Amino acid sequence: MKKVLPLVIVLTSIWVIMLIPFQILGHGFMPPDDAMRHCAKVISGKDWGQILVLRDEIKMDSYPGWHAILGFVHRLTGWDQHSLVLFSVTSLAILFCLIPVFFLKFPESWLLSLFTISILEPGWMIRIVLGRPFIFTMASLLIILFIWPRLKDKERLGINIAVLVGITALSVWIHASWYFFILLVAAFILAREYRAAGLIAVSSLAGIFIGASLTGHPVVFIKQMVTHFFLVSGSYDVERQLVGELRPAIGNYGIILTAAAMLGAQALRGKRIRDSVDNPVFILAALSFILGFLTIRVWLDWGMVAFAVWLALEFDKFLKDKLDPFSWQRLRLAVIAAIILFLSVTVDVGSRWSLTRPMDYVSKEDLTQAEFLPGSGGIVYSDSMLIFYQLFYRNPKADWRYMLGFESAFMLPGDLKILREIQKNFSRSRDFEPWVKKMRPEDRLIVRGSPDSQPKIEGLEWHYLALNMWSGRKPRDAKR
């Protein structure tokens, strides 16, 4: 009977990991941003140029793989955008959280790692259920961090290289942030794992080429990603003009204290601390922590993944020393780890899961709202990406376009300059005037504001729509 114990623990780990996203969705959680626009785009059947007013440098879709997958699911099931969002949340969260279960001798180590992170960095657990394709890249990084020691096995080197190339290609096709793999190679060089660094570099280059080729336009695709990087990096004056995940961070020092405590426990047990820190996984986490001072996304998408793996490996080493793999004490530990992980992640503290529950919707099918939504061929002007996400999600087939969509750097240069001035001055009313002057009768300026506080932007008729949205249009008697 004891020989079935490892299987029982694996199944326990799988069960709790699969249950968590469904429990979160049960609170009414809906991702507030990109998952909505990815699914709405699939329903719309349009190119981004038909949805957004784009600058000339943006030629193609940046996420062709993810939209191809969502499109396949839509054709297979007939699901609408809401169901596709639920699919995005559950499939990506489960994919990411399940991978380490199959690489660790003690899968409960991964449950303990996730529980620890849910306490130290609860916002990161929210990020795991956002239903966005960057989670696939994080899952790819997990695989690389677990299989890299196998690159030393010359007999199976070909298989492991094929895996590296394959997951890199899929990651590039689905998410497109291929330049992050430079950071991974740097971590291996700093760890003096030169052979592994070389193999990963070559595999990454091959994967990037294959992934770009899958788009059908590899040169345009790679060029656009490079352009995107520099547009985002150089299109702002002050940091508050950036979206939250691109802003600098001061660092979570609870992470440092936890790592120090783990290393201190190692020392007290007479273990070599150097083995725990002089390796690519720890160095990638440390390097990403430092780069997080420049942009928090490096830490969230790469550093936290590396830290989670490092924690799991440390817990795994400890359990190997203390527990017989076939001891029933393992089952007790696994059940406790599963319970505390489930509770720590799914409890709706501070309404973190229910706050985004859908309330009012803005739809052109609502006759009370339609008059104050854009007309045929109109443009939505706004200083908030949330306006785009909410309107596009509900109205994917509408025949209007958005001046600001999911990336401000994609805007026409003149309109981006107007937006940056609005952002710099905290949405001062007079900074909207250039947009008001160029608006046509079919265009709308939609801004966020309290139901009791009409915008003070002059030259427009205002109407409260929903979800703290005000819509302004040119007066009916105004001439073009």
* Amino acid 224: pLDDT: 86
Tell me what pLDDT residue 480 has.
Answer: 46
State the pLDDT at residue 59. 84
Indicate whether 358 belongs to any domain: no
3-state secondary structure of 444: strand
- CA atoms of 98 and 15, how far apart (whole Å): 10
Residue 206 inside a domain? The answer is yes
With contact defined as beta carbons under 8 Å apart, do 67 and 110 qualify?
Answer: no
pLDDT tops 80 at residue 215: yes
**Residue 441 near residue 375 (C-beta atoms within 8 A):** yes
Is 359 contained in some domain?
A: no
Lowest mean pLDDT among 214-218, 314-318, 358-362: 358-362
Residues 319 and 329 in one domain: no
Q: Is 132 helix (H, G, I), strand (E, B) or coil?
A: coil
* Whether residue 36 is found in the same domain as residue 121: yes
Whether residues 126 and 219 share a domain: the answer is yes
Q: Check pLDDT > 60 for residue 164.
A: yes
- Mean pLDDT of all residues in the chain? 91
211 and 344 housed in the same domain? yes
pLDDT in tens, 424-458: 999 999 999 999 999 999 999 999 999 888 999 99
Specify whether 279 is located in the same domain as 417: no
Residue 329 and residue 315 in one domain: no
Q: Which helix (H) or strand (E) holds 169?
A: helix 157-174
Q: What confidence tier does 75 reach under pLDDT thresholds 50, 70, 90?
A: very high
pLDDT at 236: 65
SS3 315: helix
Q: Which amino acid is at 433?
A: E
> What's the DSSP call for residue 52?
B
Q: How crowded is residue 88: how many other Cβ atoms within 10 Å of its Cβ?
A: 26
Give the pLDDT confidence score for residue 249 in this predicted structure: 81
Report the number of distinct structural domains present in the chain. Answer: 3
* Residue 478 domain-assigned (yes or no): no
pLDDT at 358 over 60: no
Same domain membership, residue 203 and residue 58: yes
Q: At residue 272, does pLDDT exceed 90?
A: no
Per-residue confidence (pLDDT) for residue 2, from 0 to 100: 65
Based on the fold, state whether residues 386 and 332 are members of the same structural domain.
Answer: no
Is residue 176 situated within a structural domain? yes
Lowest average pLDDT, out of 264-273, 428-437, 458-467, goes to 264-273
183 in the same domain as 57: yes
Boundaries of domain holding 399: 367-473
Task: Compute φ and ψ for 340, nearest 5 degrees.
Answer: -70, -35
The reply to whether 361 falls in a domain is no
The answer to whether position 479 is within a domain reads: no
223 and 246 part of one domain: no
For 374-427, what is each residue's pLDDT tens digit? 999 999 999 999 999 999 999 999 999 999 999 998 999 999 999 999 999 999
Residues 157 and 80 in one domain: yes
- Note every long-range contact of 252-259, with CB atoms under 8 Å and residues 24 or more positions apart, other chains counting: 252/120, 252/121, 254/120, 254/121, 255/120, 255/121, 255/289, 255/307, 256/289, 258/116, 258/120, 258/311, 259/307, 259/310
pTM comes to: 0.93
362 lies in some domain: no
Name the DSSP class of 406. Answer: S
Give yes or no: residues 53 and 177 share one domain: yes
